[in-house]
């Protein structure tokens, strides 16, 4: 047998992921909710089910749809594997989004964790691209038209939009080249990026000596110095339970609900309404209210920019693992969310039926009437909201900024829900029970 290296403590693979001792705080389920670990389990499930799908799926316009039908009808457990892959992909967007929120609301993006925040953003992009490219692969009416809508949005990006659109589609309309591009990105490029970014992500967590944890007062019962436990088995066994729960939920979803499959794609007949996949519904809903340049370019651009720059914001008070900065921050968060839950639907309805700035200001260019004016009004509103919240709660700057962030986040969720459940034929506002 090969002798162990003199410096090696011969601890095994798991110690590449966890330090030998972890603070007891980390074991509390409430701390990270196991979301990062769940995301990892789902990515692994996607790889396993994806490889199984490859045995049957054919990436050509003629054969793609029939191969999915054959998979569902003639292959043992074919339908289940497709369901697992479909729900797994969608579940992953959800889990990764909540993981990102957990990182944000516990302030785990600062200092030593800065690089990991950026790697995380890269991972989020990979997850979105995986879902988006996978969406086209069955080549049914649903996927063909959803991808048509989404790739059409690129046209509104100034200067480089149409070039990017042509590269992605591989021409001027969705066809053979698009399917090849999406297939290659889906089964090779993105998995490769995930395979590079994920180990890097985990290494960074290890480098930061584990996940962020609120520092307990010295000599308190929670004092990290006193309450250290071995990560194997204490942490690892909890992670295993979490993984089994996630797999069980995924199987349950896949047994109960079939992945949607409409008729074969028909480029001559668009369904009404034609909707983007649910994770881009918020963006599609923005298009109903703002000039496309604002909805598709300006707002997403500044959102991504602020996410990238987040670790550079010099907060006086680092959250240090505390949820929502403080108890006051949490209360302000609830109030902001409640206000957004009222204001966002009201504004959507007003904009749909009553307010029409282009009609009120005839002769003003559409980009000003439907873009610049509403954005400036909203910016003034947000500044007022920040001031009022900060004064009312006698809060710090950080708590005020967080309240604004929560307000915008809830507005985005309302937009997404509206796009998914409240838009019917012609993208008119409809009750969910009237949707076909
Ligand atoms: C994070 C990783 C992944 C995500 C989020 C993801 C997501 C998706 C989604 C949402 C679909 C459409 C499913 C449907 O409604 O029919 C799909 C299809 C597909 N994916 Fe993936 N996927 C991932 C990784 C992979 C990998 C690694 C492979 C293969 C190596 C793969 C192979 C396939 C195939 C062959 C299809 C077409 C079959 C079908 O549509 O059911 N996927 N993927
Ligand atoms: C495929 C996607 C992802 C996987 C598999 C993943 C996995 C993980 C795991 C296992 C952890 C440690 C446990 C936990 O915090 O739950 C973690 C922590 C972390 N993740 Fe992710 N993550 C993903 C996406 C993201 C995203 C989108 C972001 C943010 C933009 C992010 C930022 C972070 C940060 C900053 C930490 C360290 C948190 C701390 O020290 O408390 N991750 N991730």
**CATH number for the domain harbouring residue 75:** 1.20.810.10
Closest ligand relative to 109 C-alpha: 2
For the chain, what is the mean pLDDT?
90
DSSP conformational letter for 156: G
Residue 142 forms part of a structural domain? yes
pLDDT of residue 208: 86
On whether both 176 and 323 belong to a single domain, the answer is no
On whether both 330 and 430 belong to a single domain, the answer is yes
On whether both 53 and 155 belong to a single domain, the answer is yes
pLDDT at 267 over 80: yes
Residue 148 forms part of a structural domain? yes
Residue 32 forms part of a structural domain? yes
On whether both 123 and 244 belong to a single domain, the answer is yes
On whether both 37 and 145 belong to a single domain, the answer is yes
pLDDT of residue 220: 52
Q: Find, among 104, 107, 113, 53, the residue nearest to 77 by Cα.
A: 53
pLDDT digits (tens, 9 = 90+) for 243-261: 999 999 999 999 999 999 9
pLDDT digits (tens, 9 = 90+) for 293-314: 999 999 999 999 999 998 887 6
Residue 3 forms part of a structural domain? no
Q: Find, among 264, 277, 258, the residue nearest to 139 by Cα.
A: 264
pLDDT of residue 219: 55
Look up the pTM and report it.
Answer: 0.92
* Ligand 1 proximity of 201 Cβ (cutoff 6 Å): no
pLDDT of residue 435: 84
Cβ 274 vs Cβ 148: under 8 Å: yes
Residue 206 forms part of a structural domain? yes
On whether both 327 and 415 belong to a single domain, the answer is yes
Average pLDDT over residues 282-296: 93
pLDDT digits (tens, 9 = 90+) for 335-386: 999 999 999 999 999 999 988 887 788 888 888 888 899 999 999 999 999 9
pLDDT of residue 26: 75
110: CB partners within 8 A, 6+ apart? 311, 315, 318, 319
- Burial (Cβ within 10 Å: 0-12, 13-18, ≥19) of residue 252: exposed
Residue 221 forms part of a structural domain? no
pLDDT at 66 over 70: yes
Closest ligand relative to 119 C-alpha: 2
Residue with CA closest to ligand 2 atom 16: 36
CB atoms within 10 A of CB 32: 20
On whether both 317 and 389 belong to a single domain, the answer is yes
Distance CA 269, CA 272 (A): 9
Segment holding 14, helix H or strand E: helix 14-17
Q: Which of 71, 134, 188 to mutate to test the pocket of ligand 1 (most atoms within 8 A of CB)?
A: 134
* Ligand 1 proximity of 189 Cβ (cutoff 6 Å): no
Centroid of ligand 2 to alpha carbon of 206 (angstroms): 12
pLDDT digits (tens, 9 = 90+) for 97-153: 999 999 999 888 888 899 999 999 999 999 999 999 999 999 999 999 999 999 999
Q: What is the atom index within ligand 1 of the atom nearest the CA of 126?
A: 1
Q: What is the atom index within ligand 1 of the atom nearest the CA of 93?
A: 5
Residue with CA closest to ligand 2 atom 25: 120
pLDDT of residue 345: 97
Distance CA 422, CA 429 (A): 6
On whether both 245 and 321 belong to a single domain, the answer is no
* Ligand 1 proximity of 79 Cβ (cutoff 6 Å): no
Residue with CA closest to ligand 2 atom 18: 36
Residue 298 forms part of a structural domain? no
On whether both 247 and 175 belong to a single domain, the answer is yes
List, in sequence order, every residue forming a beta bridge with 230; answer none if it has no partner: 21
Centroid of ligand 2 to alpha carbon of 379 (angstroms): 31
- Token couple for 240: 């295993």
Domain region containing 152:
22-213+228-261
Selected residue with higher pLDDT from 301 and 230: 301
Distances in whole angstroms, Cα of residue 238 to Cα of each of 22, 234, 304: 13, 7, 34
Residue 365 forms part of a structural domain? yes
Q: What is the atom index within ligand 1 of the atom nearest the CA of 135?
A: 12
pLDDT of residue 5: 44
On whether both 247 and 353 belong to a single domain, the answer is no
On whether both 179 and 39 belong to a single domain, the answer is yes
User: In the chain, how many domains are there?
Assistant: 2
CB atoms within 10 A of CB 314: 6
On whether both 255 and 337 belong to a single domain, the answer is no
Selected residue with higher pLDDT from 33 and 424: 424
pLDDT at 225 over 60: no
Selected residue with higher pLDDT from 199 and 172: 199
């Amino acid at each position: 047998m090969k002798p162990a290296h003199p410096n090696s403590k011969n601890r095994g693979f798991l110690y590449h992921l966890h330090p030998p001792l972890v603070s007891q705080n980390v074991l509390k389920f409430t701390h990270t909710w196991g979301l990062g670990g769940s995301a990892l389990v789902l990515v692994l499930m996607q790889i396993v089910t994806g490889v199984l799908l490859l045995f049957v799926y054919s990436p050509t316009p003629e054969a793609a749809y029939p191969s999915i039908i054959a998979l569902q009808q003639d292959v043992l457990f074919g339908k289940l594997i497709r369901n697992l892959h479909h729900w797994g992909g969608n579940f992953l967007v959800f889990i990764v989004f909540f993981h990102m929120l957990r990182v944000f609301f516990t302030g785990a993006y600062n200092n030593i964790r800065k690089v990991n925040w950026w790697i995380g953003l890269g991972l989020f992009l990979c997850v979105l691209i995986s879902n988006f490219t996978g969406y086209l692969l069955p080549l049914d009416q649903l996927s063909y038209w959803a991808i048509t809508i989404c790739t059409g949005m690129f046209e509104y990006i100034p200067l480089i939009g149409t070039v990017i659109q042509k590269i992605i589609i591989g021409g001027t309309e969705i066809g053979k080249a698009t399917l090849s591009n999406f297939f290659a990105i889906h089964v090779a490029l993105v998995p490769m990026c995930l395979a590079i970014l994920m180990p890097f992500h985990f290494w960074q967590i290890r480098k930061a000596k584990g996940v962020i944890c609120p520092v307990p007062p010295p000599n308190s019962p929670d004092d990290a110095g006193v309450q250290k436990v071995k990560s194997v088995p204490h942490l690892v066994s909890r992670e295993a339970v979490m993984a089994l729960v996630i797999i069980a939920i995924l199987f349950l979803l896949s047994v109960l609900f079939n992945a949607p499959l409409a008729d074969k794609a028909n480029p001559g007949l668009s369904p009404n309404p034609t909707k983007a996949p649910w994770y881009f519904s918020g963006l599609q809903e923005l298009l109903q209210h703002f000039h496309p340049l604002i909805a598709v370019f300006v707002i997403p651009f500044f959102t991504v920019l602020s996410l990238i720059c987040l670790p550079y914001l010099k907060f006086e008070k680092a959250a240090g693992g505390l949820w929502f900065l403080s108890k006051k921050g949490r209360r302000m968060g609830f109030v902001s969310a409640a206000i957004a839950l009222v204001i966002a639907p009201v504004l959507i309805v007003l904009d749909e039926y009553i307010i029409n700035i282009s009609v009120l200001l005839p002769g003003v260019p559409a980009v000003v009437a439907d873009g610049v004016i509403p954005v400036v009004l909203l910016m003034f509103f947000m500044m007022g909201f920040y001031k009022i919240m900060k004064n009312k709660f006698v809060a710090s700057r950080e708590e005020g900024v967080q309240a604004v962030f929560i307000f915008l986040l809830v507005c985005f969720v309302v937009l997404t829900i509206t796009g998914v459940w409240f838009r019917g034929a012609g993208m008119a506002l409809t009750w969910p029970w009237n949707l076909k």
